[in-house]
Amino acid sequence: MPTLVVYRKRRGIEAVLLVFSIAIAISGYLLTHLDIDSALPAEWPWAVAALTLLALVAHVMVRWRIPYADPLILPLTMFLNGIGLAMIHRLDLATTVTREDGTVDRMHSAELQLLWTAASILIFALVLILLQNYEVLHRFPYILFTVGIIMLLLPLVPGLGQEKNGSKIWISTGFSSLQPAEFAKIILCVAFAAYLVDKREVLSSAGKRLLGVELPRLRDLGPILLMWVISVLVLFYQKDLGTALLFFGLFVAMLYIATERPSYPIIGVLLFSAAAYAAYVLFAHVRTRVTAWLDPFSDFDTNYQIIQAQFGFAWGGAVGTGWGLGRPNLTPLAKTDFISAALGEELGVFGLAAIIVVYGVLIARGLRAALGSQDPFGKLLAAGLSFIFAIQVFTILGGVTRLLPLTGLTTPFLSQGGSSLVANWVLVALLMVVTHHARRPLVERSANPVVNFAADETMVLEGAR
Partner 1 sequence: MNGPIRKLAVLCALLVGALLVNMSVAFVVSYPALGESQQNRRVLDARFAQRRGPIMVGTTAVATSKKVKDRFKYQREYVDGPLYAPITGYYTYYYGATALEASESGWLSGQQDELMLDQLINNLAGSEPAGATVETTISAAAQEAAWDALDGRKGAVVALSTDTGAIRALVTSPSYDPNLLATHDLDASKEAWDKLTKAKDKPMRDRATDEIYPTGSAFKLITAAAALEEGLVADAETPIDATTFTTKQTSHTIAQRCGGDTITIARAMVVSCNPAFARLGAELGITRLQEQAAKFGFGTKPLTEVSSTASRLYNETAHEGGLDDMQVAMTAIGEFEVGATPLQMAMVAAAIQNGGVVMKPYLVQRVLTDDLKTAYQATPEVFGEAISTETAAALRAMMVDVVTTGTGSRAAVPGIEVGGKTGTFAPEGSERRYAWFVAFAAELDIAVCAFVEGDDIENTDIGGARAAAPIAKAVIEALR
Binding site for partner 1 (CB under 8 A): 253, 256-258, 260, 300, 307, 310-315, 317-318, 326-327, 330, 344, 349, 352-353, 356-357, 359-360, 363-364, 367, 370-371, 376, 379-380, 383, 386-387, 390-391, 393-394, 397-398, 401-403, 459-461, 464-465
Cβ 117 to partner 1 shortest distance, Å: 25
Query: 30 vs 325, which CB is nearer to partner 1?
Result: 325
Our CB check for partner 1 shows the closer of 367 and 442 to be: 367
Q: Write down the least CB distance from residue 382 to partner 1, Å.
A: 9
Residue with Cβ nearer partner 1 (241 or 383) = 383
What amino acid is encoded at 327 in this protein?
A: R
Closest separation in Å from C-beta 324 to partner 1? 11
Taking the complex as a whole, how short is the minimal distance between the CB of residue 320 and partner 1, in angstroms? 12
- The partner residues of 104 in beta bridges, in order of sequence, read 98
* Shortest distance in whole angstroms from residue 68 CB to partner 1: 20
Q: Which CB sits closer to partner 1, 19 or 325?
A: 325
> Contact, 213 vs 262, CB < 8 A?
yes
Residue with Cβ nearer partner 1 (125 or 370): 370
The nearest distance, CB 257 to partner 1, in angstroms, is 4
3-state secondary structure of 169: strand
The nearer residue to partner 1, 180 or 348, going by C-beta atoms, is 348
Q: Which is nearer to partner 1, 249 or 408 (CB)?
A: 249
**Are the C-beta atoms of 231 and 185 separated by less than 8 Å?**
no
Rounded to a whole number of angstroms, the minimum distance from the CB of residue 357 to partner 1 is 7
Q: Which CB, 116 or 394, lies closer to partner 1?
A: 394
Q: How many residues does the chain have?
A: 465
Instruction: Give, in degrees to the nearest 5, the angle at Cα 91 between 89 and 94.
Output: 115
Q: Are 179 and 417 in contact (CB under 8 A)?
A: yes
Q: Are 27 and 324 in contact (CB under 8 A)?
A: no
Cβ-based nearer residue to partner 1, 16 or 40: 40
Count of Cβ atoms closer than 10 Å to residue 455 Cβ:
7
Q: How far is the CB of 368 from partner 1 (least distance, A)?
A: 8
Write the burial class of residue 360 (CB in 10 Å: 0-12 exposed, 13-18 middle, 19+ buried). Answer: middle
Q: What is the dihedral of CA 447, 455, 59, 385, to 10 degrees?
A: -80
With a CB cutoff of 8 Å and minimum separation 6, the contacts of 276 are: 235, 241
Question: What minimum distance in Å lies between the beta carbon of 447 and partner 1?
Answer: 25
Coil, strand or helix at 172: strand
Closest CB to partner 1 among 286 and 370? 370
Smallest distance from partner 1 to CB 205, Å: 17
Q: How far is the CB of 334 from partner 1 (least distance, A)?
A: 13
Q: Provide the 8-state DSSP code for 416.
A: S
Radius of gyration (Cα) for the chain, nearest Å? 23
Q: Find, among 347, 334, 464, 312, the residue nearest to 411 by Cα.
A: 334
Instruction: Using the minimum distance from each CB to partner 1, give the nearer residue, 75 or 312.
Output: 312
Helix axis angle for 339-372 and 376-400, nearest 10°, is 160
d(CA 235, CA 243): 8
For partner 1, the closer CB: 230 or 380: 380
431, 382 contact by CB (below 8 A): yes
Output the smallest distance, CB 401 to partner 1, in A: 5
C-alpha dist (Å) from residue 53 to 56, 57, 59, 433, 455:
5, 6, 10, 22, 37
SS3 content of the chain, % helix, strand, coil (to 5): 65, 5, 25
Integer Cα distance of 199 and 303 in angstroms:
46
Bridge partners (DSSP) listed for residue 214: 209
What's the rounded Cα separation, in Å, for the pair 104 and 159? 38
